[in-house]
């Protein structure tokens, strides 16, 4: 059965999608069966896998709102399988209001694929609203990318209290998978200070692997490839391979 991990932080630009795409590719490279569910209307994970978000059909919106078969929405790529999103997903929140058990729409879809994968990673939008709520109901655990910048911890208490509410009412088994420090710049005191502060806040839950700021990670999406395929020797590629090892080690057995 798949381990389903939602990649969540309601701040934009902290490295959620970069982590989702590159961790998925590195997990696949290490032999795991991996699916990414793009759940952000911006659909950056979809294009990060080289899938055209403007034509991919059916996509996750069609699955949730139009009753499309989730198995038909899966697109196989050399880097892992992906369920595409597109901007229609932004409107889904309103359409979902009329649907009974709307919090479980994504869960019901992904459960149908759970026996085909070892990991399902959900790339969440930058908010704590209905789409993210659905992700938290579909997930076993939550991975939180935290950017090594000022205000890194801002908003994380809201995220944690959202997870607690979900745990109490909608998904009792949800847990924190881990916190991953992103865009770390070892040349600055700021990055080091933020890393220390995050570790103090989340004792034992911050991955030893820290994702460095690396231009290859920023370039790779424009080639529709994860960094491991774009520049396998880059520091960014190495970091996500290391993170994949850490995630697999934590989840083995």
Q: Where does this chain bind ligand ADP (CB under 6 A)?
A: 12-18, 44, 126, 182-183, 211, 213-214, 217-218, 221
Which of ligand ADP, Mg ion, none does 18 bind, CB closer than 5 to 8 A by kind? ligand ADP
- Tell me if 59 sits within 8 A of 83, measured CB to CB: yes
Q: Does 225 bind Mg ion (CB under 5 A)?
A: no
Q: Is 17 in the site for Mg ion (CB under 5 A)?
A: yes
CB of 24 to ligand ADP, least distance (A): 13
Least distance to ligand ADP from the beta carbon of 43, Å? 11
The partner in contact with residue 214, picked from Mg ion, ligand ADP, none with C-beta cut-offs of 5 to 8 angstroms by kind, is ligand ADP
* Smallest distance, ligand ADP to C-beta of residue 94, A: 22
Nearer to ligand ADP, 58 or 212 (CB): 212
Check binding of 18 to Mg ion (CB under 5 A).
no
| Residue 34 interacts with which of ligand ADP, Mg ion, none, CB < 5 to 8 Å by class | none
Helix axes 156-169, 130-138, angle to 10 degrees: 60
Nearest to ligand ADP of 108, 141 (CB atom): 141
Least distance to ligand ADP, CB of residue 213, Å: 4
Binding partner at 218 among ligand ADP, Mg ion, none, C-beta below 5 to 8 Å by kind: ligand ADP
Partner from ligand ADP, Mg ion, none binding residue 10, C-beta < 5-8 Å depending on class = none
C-alpha to C-alpha distances, 163 to 4, 106, 174, nearest whole angstrom? 15, 17, 8
Choice from 16, 53, 107, 225 touching Mg ion (CB under 5 A): 16
In the complex, the residues that contact Mg ion under the rule CB under 5 A are: 16-17, 44
């Amino acid at each position: 059965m798949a381990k389903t991990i939602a990649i969540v932080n309601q701040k934009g630009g902290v490295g959620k999608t970069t982590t989702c795409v590159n961790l998925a590719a590195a997990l696949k490279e290490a032999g795991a069966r991996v699916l990414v569910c793009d759940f952000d209307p911006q659909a950056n994970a979809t294009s990060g896998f080289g899938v055209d978000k403007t034509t991919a059909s059916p996509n996750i919106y069609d699955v949730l709102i139009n009753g499309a078969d989730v198995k038909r929405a899966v697109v196989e790529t050399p880097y892992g399988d992906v369920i595409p999103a597109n901007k229609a997903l932004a409107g889904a929140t309103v359409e979902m209001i009329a649907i009974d058990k709307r919090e479980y729409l994504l869960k019901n879809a992904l459960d149908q694929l759970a026996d085909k994968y070892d990991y399902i990673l959900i790339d969440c939008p930058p908010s704590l609203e209905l789409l993210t709520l659905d992700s938290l109901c579909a997930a076993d655990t939550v991975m939180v990318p935290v950017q090594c910048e000022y205000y890194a911890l801002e908003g994380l208490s809201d995220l944690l209290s959202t997870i607690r509410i979900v745990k109490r009412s909608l998904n009792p088994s949800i847990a924190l998978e881990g916190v991953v420090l992103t865009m770390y710049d070892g040349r600055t005191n700021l990055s080091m200070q933020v890393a220390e502060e995050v570790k103090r806040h989340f004792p034992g839950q911050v991955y030893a692997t820290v994702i460095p700021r690396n231009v290859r990670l920023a370039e790779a999406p424009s080639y529709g490839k994860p960094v491991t395929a774009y520049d396998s020797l880059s520091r960014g590629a190495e970091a996500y391979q290391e993170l994949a090892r850490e995630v697999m080690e934590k989840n083995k057995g």
